[in-house]
Amino acid sequence: MKVINCSIKDIPELALMNQMLIEDEKAETSLDLTDLQERMTDFITSDYKAFLFSIENKTIGYALCNFMKTPIYLRQFFICRSERRKGYGKKAFQALLDYINIDKIDIDVYVWNESGVAFWESLGFEKRCYNMRFQQHT
């Protein structure tokens, strides 16, 4: 598993994978691919760093981390659909920790994303708080 530090040239690939991540986790965002490219550009030109995961020169996923948070905040983590159920998620996560040389990291997972919750718990993540929202319905 190779971890590659991303640059602006990787924005189209990152945005496309981010679009699939949004679909998979049923996120509440409705950005199109152009908007996702702009948002990813904003991320990696500010407090975030993006990383590609590859095996035998084939991209299998990515991660987006905020390095200004303590501990570092893992905002996005994605393994390509065709590469799932092969153990790559766990390997990519450990490779990321090794690459950025950390032993503590925070994430957020939507409560309705049961497979995501199960994945992160299988890695040893523990629930720490509940993020809640009130929205007035008219």
Q: Which domains does the chain have, with CATH numbers?
A: 2-122 (3.40.630.30)
Q: What does DSSP assign to residue 103?
A: S
Distance from C-alpha of 18 to C-alpha of 81, rounded to nearest angstrom: 12
For 54-91, the pLDDT digits (tens) are 999 999 999 999 999 999 999 999 999 999 999 999 99
| pTM (two decimals) | 0.93
Residues 51/61, Cβ–Cβ less than 8 Å: no
CA-to-CA separations, 26 to 5, 43, 73, 128, in angstroms, rounded:
27, 21, 20, 22
For 2-42, the pLDDT digits (tens) are 999 999 999 999 999 999 999 999 888 889 999 999 999 99
For 46-60, the pLDDT digits (tens) are 999 999 999 999 999
Distance from C-alpha of 17 to C-alpha of 27, rounded to nearest angstrom: 14
* CA-wise closest residue to 103 among 115, 94, 91, 112: 94
Can you point out the beta strands (E) in the chain?
2-5, 48-55, 58-66, 72-79, 105-106
Helix, strand, or coil here: 119? helix
